[in-house]
Structure 1
């Protein structure tokens, strides 16, 4: 695997500083420096302490990542929205788990991506899920196809610079056209459910009303933090549980899972330096209620 950038600065810069400006972490740089990769400037192998001049190309070559034998591959369908040498964006159906766990081992998104990469003769066979979704939340997931991509996007994830928007159907009529729910979220001992807890982690959810029915509201939701069940906990806390959400008091008379869909994701690609934005259509369940 290799990636190339053209340095567009006006002053010489060391390779490490330049790569850090693109998002590369200290740990990955050291791994590359210590034998797991090569640095090339103008297509010539150089030491990692080398300075790059304006308009010079910098190339990183790295060994491919071998498959993780503890993760089974699956040939079940994978809805690929976008793919290049570094990224996969997939549209996950509700009901499919993101990663293997105690209850599901061999047919998660991770298993399906591994099967997809094997079928397409990919050199890198250890995908990295950058975003995850609850089992019964469908929509867009971003996956790094190798560890360099995973490392270089991590800063955007940690600093909440990646835009993630969801569509939810909630109970009742949300009166404010636009609002924020700023309530800390904590764990509930021995239970899967999270709770509003003044001693919990900071959690901020922003929303816009898109449509109202007699007994429901469709909202567009943007996460400014990434807490477990954040949208579900926050809307339950303001008296508008998600329809179908049995864990947080939603009406389950028609749906057995929360009507929540990851409808948009946007990030800055550290390889092309372009903003990448993807959207997903709402599943049929959202229109049946309407």
Structure 2
């Protein structure tokens, strides 16, 4: 079983509580409370508790009780990056991130948990961000709750770049969209551009103009729900295949949106991570 945290007290460290030692590992108070409730502990490979007094030279391993009720289901995964802390998957269009009442087995969570199980890892599924079901591309998954929490605690900025196909010919090469986004009245899913919405900023670069469509690259500065879909629709160039926001479905039946690039600083190793996922085939076939 792989611990989510392990460390050794230095030989000149004074005796201290488990809580203090874990706090010195820069674990937040909220996470320490969770570890006290759900954690299990080994000190020098012997069972310990939250109340165990630690001494200089003690080696500590902390495990978090597995709480997932998601059934592992073998699914072919396109793994773009993996280390001891993170897994980055190129998710196909049409796949949910989490199971729902109508789809329990063929989601990214099912596939990732089956992969962890096959590899003999004591890891769990903690997505750092999400993609809509019909959006393809890069998804970052933390292998345990501490790594997931590190993204939040360190305010890790994830720079996201999306490629998209829109209906119509966008006549200029670059544009910057600052339309606020709000929930559409009467809908729990749909959003709209609205003066009283939350600030939202998307920069758009035209990659290629086709006879009936435009390939664009979208740079997100905020992370509102459906941000790219709403912004391009509000401009009059909805995503092809995105019938929720007015896109045509004669050529593609799923929104043509792909999370193609990610840039971030690894919250554990502090390494700068740069990742790319190849464009789906339909980008080469755009009419």
TM-score (norm 2): 0.81
Shift of 1:83: 1.2
Residue pairs, 1:210-249, within 5 angstroms: 210-249=207-246
The reply on whether 1:270 has 2:271 as its aligned counterpart is: no
Partners of 1:93 and 1:64 in 2: CA distance: 30
Partner of 2:180: 184
Q: Does the residue aligned with 1:150 lie in a helix, a strand or coil?
A: helix
Question: In angstroms, what is the RMSD of aligned CA positions?
Answer: 3.0
User: What stretches of structure 2 of length at least 5 have no aligned partner?
Assistant: 8-19, 44-49, 51-58
Shift of 1:84: 1.2
Contact kept in structure 1, 2:177 and 2:231, CA below 8 Å: yes
Q: Does the residue aligned with 2:157 lie in a helix, a strand or coil?
A: coil
Contact kept in structure 1, 2:6 and 2:62, CA below 8 Å: no
- Taking a change above 3 Å as real, the CA distance of residues 267 and 15 of structure 1, as seen in their structure-2 partners, is farther
Query: Structure 1 residue aligned with 2:283, among 267, 286, 289?
Result: 286
TM-score (norm 1): 0.80
User: What stretches of structure 1 of length at least 5 have no aligned partner?
Assistant: 6-13, 41-46, 48-58
Partners of 1:106 and 1:273 in 2: CA distance: 35
- Taking a change above 3 Å as real, the CA distance of residues 254 and 115 of structure 1, as seen in their structure-2 partners, is same
The reply on whether 1:84 has 2:83 as its aligned counterpart is: yes
Shift of 1:239: 0.9
Shift of 1:146: 0.5
Query: Structure 2 residue aligned with 1:166, among 162, 167, 170?
Result: 162
The reply on whether 1:142 has 2:145 as its aligned counterpart is: no
The reply on whether 1:36 has 2:39 as its aligned counterpart is: yes
Partner of 1:55: none
Runs of 4+ in 1 over 3 A off after TM superposition: 2-5, 14-20, 29-40
Shift of 1:281: 0.2
